Structure 1
Amino acid sequence: MVLNNIEKLLEKYENGETSLKEEQVLKNYFSSDTVAPHLETYKPMFDYFLVNQQEQFTKDVPLKTKRTFNYKWISVAAVTVLMLGVYFGKSFTNTNDLGTYEDPQLALNEVTKSLEMISKSFNKGTSTVGYLNEVNKGTSTLGYLNEIENATRIIFKN
Structure 2
Amino acid sequence: MVLNNIENLLEKYENGESTLQEEAQLKDYFSQETVAPHLEHYKAVFGYFLANQQEAFTKDLPLNTKKQFNFKWLSVAAVAVLMFGIYFSRPVDPTITEEDRLAYNEAKSYLELVSKTLNKGTAQINYLGAFNKAGTHVDYLKEMENPIGRIFKN
- The TM-score normalised by the length of structure 1 is 0.48
